[in-house]
Structure 1
């Protein structure tokens, strides 16, 4: 993967974190389909952590179906 491709995936993954936090299920699906990584972390939290914390059940289901890692721990607690 080129450096430019890696940067694009990282940007998608950052957007996935935001969409998961906001409960934007349609955006989450689109970002995953474009290649966003469901295991990306920021400040020790994954998209699954953020969606679950905010109570966005539909987003949690989408992330689980996409194969997110259930063993990644939240580093902030």
Structure 2
């Protein structure tokens, strides 16, 4: 989590148990937790925390030929 560009600190689809239909929402919530500094509280550990995160990108793909969503979240 301390690399130049941390990626998938929550484990992505596999880390969420791949909740079909809710993965985009789960990724957005995970991004919010990172930006709000809530990871130690929600994950019960600091191992997946990105220190001083101020920007996050969420990509959600609903399946071939359906939809793709991208969100950029920033801490203010």
TM-score, normalised to structure 1's length?
A: 0.30
Q: Is the helix fraction higher in 1 or 2?
A: 1
Q: Is the strand fraction higher in 1 or 2?
A: 2
Structure ID, larger Rg: 2
TM-score, normalised to structure 2's length?
A: 0.30
